[in-house]
Structure 1
Amino acid sequence: MRLVSLSALLVALAACTPAPVTPEQAADLCEDRARAAQGPTGSVTMGVNSNSGPSAGLAVGLSSDFIRGRDPVEVYESCVFDRTGAAPIRPPRLR
C-alpha cells in the first residue's frame, strides 16, 4: 500500500514541474527582469469616457533587484542560468 501511495505522490509531483524553457524563451523572460533592475518602471494613463468623463491613472513598479542595487546584466545572466542550467545564448537587449 505504501508503494502505491509513494508512486502516486511522485506522479503528482512530476505533473507539477514546469515545462523546460528554451534558451530563447529564457532570454526573453530574463530580459524583462533585467530591465526592471535598471530602475523604477511606470505608466501614466489619461482618457475621457462619454459615460464617466475624464479619468487618469498612475502605476509605479520597483523590482527587488533594483532595490538591492543588483547589476542588470548579472540579473539577466543568473536568471537564464537558473532557468536553463546554461549560460545565456546572447547578451541582454536592455533598452
Structure 2
Amino acid sequence: MLRVVPVLLALAACAPQPISPERAAEICEQRARAAQGPTGRVTIGASSSDGPFAGAEIGLSADYLAGRDPVEVYEECVFERTGAAPIRPPVLR
C-alpha cells in the first residue's frame, strides 16, 4: 500500500494544470487565427559582413489544411483546456 502512494503522487504531478478561462482564450485564439489561412514572412536586407540576404517563411496549420472552421477550432480548444465553454467569442484579426 505504501508503494502505491508515491506512484499516485507522481501521476498527479504529470496531470495538466488548469489554466484560467482568459489564458485559454488567448492561446486558442492563436490556434484559431492559424486555421484561417496560411501565414508568412519575407525578410530582405544587407549587412556589411555578410552582404545581401533574403528569406521567406510560410506556415500552414493542420486545422487550415483540414478545412476546419476557426470558431469551431477556438471553442473546442478552450473546452479541452478548461472543461467549460469559452467565456467570450474569439478575436480573429
Which structure 2 residues correspond to residues 3-82 of structure 1 after superposition, within 5 A?
Answer: 3-82=1-80
Task: Kindly state the Cα deviation for residue 61 of structure 1 after the two structures are TM-superposed.
Answer: 0.9
Task: Kindly state the Cα deviation for residue 17 of structure 1 after the two structures are TM-superposed.
Answer: 2.2
Q: What is the one-letter code of the residue matched to 1:69?
A: G
User: Percent identity, aligned pairs only?
Assistant: 65
Q: What is the one-letter code of the residue matched to 1:85?
A: G
Task: Kindly state the Cα deviation for residue 29 of structure 1 after the two structures are TM-superposed.
Answer: 0.2
- Aligned residue pairs total 93
Could you say what the CA RMSD is over the residues aligned between the two structures, in angstroms? 1.1
Measured against aligned partners, the alpha-carbon deviations of 1:41-77 in whole angstroms (never above 9, x if no partner) come to 1111122111111111111111111111000000001
Q: What is the one-letter code of the residue matched to 1:86?
A: A
TM-score (norm 1): 0.90
Q: What is the one-letter code of the residue matched to 1:11?
A: L
Q: Structure 1: give runs of 5+ residues left out of the alignment.
A: none
Task: Kindly state the Cα deviation for residue 8 of structure 1 after the two structures are TM-superposed.
Answer: 1.7
Take 2:84 and 2:47, find their aligned partners in 1: how far apart are those partners?
Answer: 50
Q: Structure 2: give runs of 5+ residues left out of the alignment.
A: none
Measured against aligned partners, the alpha-carbon deviations of 1:15-43 in whole angstroms (never above 9, x if no partner) come to 22232110000000000000000011111
Task: Report the secondary structure of 1:74's partner residue.
Answer: helix
